[in-house]
Structure 1
Amino acid sequence: MNTNHWNTKIQIVEQFDGSTKMLSENSMGIYIQSETNDALLVHFKPLNQKFNHKVFNTNAGVLLNFERDLIDEDDIEYALDVFALFNKFPEFYIKQKEQVLQIQQLINWLKGEFYSETTSYIMLKTLLKVLLLHLIRFQNADFLKQDLNQKRIFQFLELMETTFLYETTTEYYATQLGISSKRLNQVLKEKLNCTAKQIIQQRQITEAKRSLIKSDSTTKEIAFRLGFDSISSFSRFFKKNVGVSPSVFKTEH
């Protein structure tokens, strides 16, 4: 199988800077940066977001960029764990020597398979999954050390991922987190530069695009599944955020 065929779903970039083009806005990114003290600094780019600008201060690392489809093809529990990995906090250090060596070995295997003349999509996907599972395990060990507001962001994003189809108000999520809507928006603006409503709408747009491209659902079915009371209100919402109507978007893709 030709490597370039899989560049539409996964890419590995070893000279990464601000001009590097992601696969799509619906892709996820991990930048693993080597530190001088034999540690790794791991940066995450969740769906519909960008890397922190300080990621571009060095190119001593490797970018793994992949489409959400690679995660959704597996079971829902794994997908939720991956989304949690990306949303808990934008970066974390791996300092234990054994853990550093494990991640470096997995990266080398991924690069070897990616650049092989006989690249296997299944092998790439499997190696990526093993890498993500290692990162999930290492990150969970650090989670208790994070500040309260960062934990609130994680809790909001995790809850939203499982309920956004039927809960779209800031008040609902604030109540579940035990804080006011104003405080929730303050925390999200400080850390992610978005309000709760904006993040929920980004998630709705991502799901709408995915459904239009990947499923046989009609625009009407997608609109009602996303909680809109009419096709016209969904179409206005979609066109405002994407620039074209749902039908045009589906045709173009």
Structure 2
Amino acid sequence: MYFDYKDPQLNALLRLTDNVWLIVEDASIQKGLIHMIWNQGEDPVSFDVDGSAITLGPNEITTVTYIHLVRFHRPLPSLTVLSFNREFYCIKDHDHEVSCNGLLFMGARDLPILSLDEKERSSLQTLLQVFEDEFQNKDNIQGEMLQMLLKRFIIKCTRLARAQTLGVSVATDASETIRKFNVLVDEHYKSLKQVADYADLMFKSPKTLSNVFKQHGSKSPLQLIHDRVVIEARRQLLKTSKTAKEIAFDLGFDNVSSFNKLFKKCTNSSPVEFRKQNVVDREKSTIIQE
């Protein structure tokens, strides 16, 4: 299966496929895409995101964005992938519609792993069938219809993310505080490294923030800041030839030793060790996006 919609005037792209090989082969459209990856098979599938192993079980969905480096190991797995770029649907500009930033995309949190029960699986499969039908309707409102379907798919997954990661079925003041914190960290992690910095931006005290995260069983605010810094560090180690010192300064550290200490604390390896290991792993894998 392979469907795509392109608007050359807007440079907009939406794509649906269950053949990962087609994504890997079509290198010209890999940059700048958001992927929603669904394992509809009966066996777990493992792949790497920014040097970390991700295992997607049967009937589980995860999301990756244009900041991530995704590698699939050969033989390539069977996965359903819904992909789009910012020109087709900008999740930041439309956050008031879907409230997904900081939960489903971006943010300082780990990649979401959404588990589908039978009802949810059936609902999303029906929606994918509607996608397939609409991809074949070549009229002047096709783009609007596909955008509406994508928004519906995102909303359904955002609701699952809120319920499964924060334990609430609908948005609450506390869950919105966590979501907003994640988005702010994603925007300012290079310059702001302390919880108090974000508390000031949100007009809250650091203690209030810590209590909100603790009540929802989440990582601490400080850990989320550190995690976001390390995500970017991994990305630069994998995708650039920058030295650890250059990366440290780019991420706002005054000295490389502080950066090395934080990186090793979060990954159990130094930046140099991490890069060497992934050079070896890269030779055994296929890149979907960089």
Same fold (TM over 0.5): yes
Question: Partner residue of 1:169?
Answer: 194
Alpha-carbon distance in 2 for matches of 1:24, 1:106: 30
Return the structure number with greater helix share. 1
What is the TM-score when the length of structure 2 is the normalising length?
0.52
Q: Does residue 86 of the first structure (1) align with residue 104 of the second (2)?
A: yes
Q: Does residue 232 of the first structure (1) align with residue 257 of the second (2)?
A: yes
Q: CA deviation at 1:16?
A: 6.6
Would the aligned equivalents of 1:171 and 1:181 in 2 still touch at CA under 8 Å? Answer: yes
Q: Does residue 63 of the first structure (1) align with residue 75 of the second (2)?
A: no
Alpha-carbon distance in 2 for matches of 1:225, 1:237: 15
Q: 26, 48, 52: which is aligned to 1:24? A: 48
Q: CA deviation at 1:146?
A: 1.7
Alignment gaps of 5+ in structure 2: 3-18, 25-29, 70-83, 134-145, 163-169, 279-290
Alpha-carbon distance in 1 for matches of 2:60, 2:157: 18
Higher relative contact order (CA 8 A, sep 6+): 2
Question: Partner residue of 2:129?
Answer: 105
Amino acid at match of 2:90: Y
Would the aligned equivalents of 1:211 and 1:222 in 2 still touch at CA under 8 Å? Answer: yes
SS at match of 1:178: coil
Amino acid at match of 2:60: L
Alpha-carbon distance in 1 for matches of 2:148, 2:67: 13
Please give the residue correspondences for 1:176-187 in structure 2 after superposition, counting only pairs within 5 Å. 176-187=201-212
Structure 1 vs Structure 2 CA RMSD: 4.7
Please give the residue correspondences for 1:26-175 in structure 2 after superposition, counting only pairs within 5 Å. 62-69=59-66, 74-75=85-86, 78=90, 80=92, 83-86=101-104, 103-105=127-129, 133-136=151-154, 146-175=171-200
Alpha-carbon distance in 2 for matches of 1:22, 1:65: 12
Alpha-carbon distance in 2 for matches of 1:216, 1:166: 22
SS at match of 1:24: strand
Return the structure number with greater strand share. 2
Would the aligned equivalents of 2:185 and 2:225 in 1 still touch at CA under 8 Å? Answer: yes
- Aligned in 2, Cα 1:148/1:249: closer, same or farther, shift over 3 Å? same
SS at match of 1:187: helix
SS at match of 2:193: coil
Q: 233, 245, 249: which is aligned to 1:208? A: 233
Would the aligned equivalents of 1:22 and 1:65 in 2 still touch at CA under 8 Å? Answer: no
Alpha-carbon distance in 2 for matches of 1:101, 1:196: 36
Would the aligned equivalents of 1:13 and 1:64 in 2 still touch at CA under 8 Å? Answer: yes
Identity of aligned residues (%): 24
Q: How many residues align?
A: 201
Alpha-carbon distance in 2 for matches of 1:228, 1:215: 18
Q: 1:71-116 deviations in whole A, cap 9, x for unaligned?
A: 799559936466445169988x9x9xxx96873326778xxxxxxx
What is the TM-score when the length of structure 1 is the normalising length?
0.59
